[in-house]
Structure 1
């Protein structure tokens, strides 16, 4: 039995038109997103002769002149593709062979930063880092907007380290003070420089409350990370005194004179925030051993 005749290809008329214009099977397939075999069968069906190999690379795009005109006007490849339907490779080749330079026409306006107005309002009064921290924006965006606005930042001159400290803190809920200045290390510890010297923001906060220089490391005793509120920080003797008072309230006996490894607890004894005693020397040795065993 004779088979049922095949239905014509849905794009047969378009394929025939391009074949009549002298395009190769591959070029037609790429242009219309169809299979090369389907194009070849339609060429055979209608008796359209094959394109000579010598003409493969010389066949111009149907909108070649329009592409050249748009290139000459300075349009981008993407915009020319949108207007002509030509693939980017064809446009790039025409740009290269025609000696056209870089595009000069911008068809899309640059998108404004969501916090553009807020950033511009702070440019004269704050550094890029401060604006980035205060508004929670990328520092590169602040630099770009500053460059566009042509506004230079002039750092204020502070008479004392305390004045500079006061300009770099912000009160948050709970009476905490957030540090807006520079930070260092993996733990993002607040740091500050004043007149080419390093100053501890937490140490300044401690001195504001007590009137004296701290002994040892100053840390916040509250639950806000790196809080620099004067009422929330303490030095090593202050922390130990508070934790010893907590142990006394709980009825916990005083720790021994030495730990189980023989370290003098008058020198190495430490207390956790909840009053739990531990040996600083043992803890240091454990960390060293862990680092040594890490591959």
Structure 2
């Protein structure tokens, strides 16, 4: 009797990639959100609009499925980096040199790669499995990247601010398995899902803002600006957060205050998008 043919695991890296693009759109569409670009206004940004971000999304649309496919093929960290650097270059061409989604290229790219790795081995992506894959497969490389900035694609404004103020940059957050993403952002998004997508995303954003070493805020406002923004987020949460009937009005008032101070929590926005990706992919 002949052996049954082996069935290859179902790998849908295109779906993982599409979910990343949609997650970035989820973040863009949320309003009001302090200092950040939306379809309503440009927030604290004089160099970009919602249109700029949409052009960036269009330029990145092939990158996320490609890095998911690379993850499925068990690519090493250098190969993932090459894909990310090429994606950044396409983004900058599309935006006229404006850095719209560099953080998302890094964070969502790693998540897509981990999702592809799991799918290729017959495992469904779950938050715990994705986190374990990141740490086990590329954790040592991420730790090296966090310790040695020269290994990254140039010294970004965020990394410079992290070094100047002794903060934890995105690479260090990744090397720890994205604790703010998995322990704060995603639980907040799911815990408040009954409020509807808009308010749940607002809650997740503010919970991240309250605890994240957001180097975008530190770059724009120094350590004082970061600490001020974190306190505003804590005050919003202590007043009931997104469950407060006046949450939208309070968020709009904070938006104005952040714009007045030229502050924008871009790191928190990246983690909100990543949480939206996790919620969509892991639910499916």
Q: TM-score, normalised by structure 1?
A: 0.18
Normalising by structure 2, what TM-score? 0.18
- Greater fraction helix: 2
The structure number with the bigger radius of gyration is 1
Structure in which a larger fraction of residues adopt strand: 1
Bigger RCO (CA 8 Å, 6+ sep)? 2
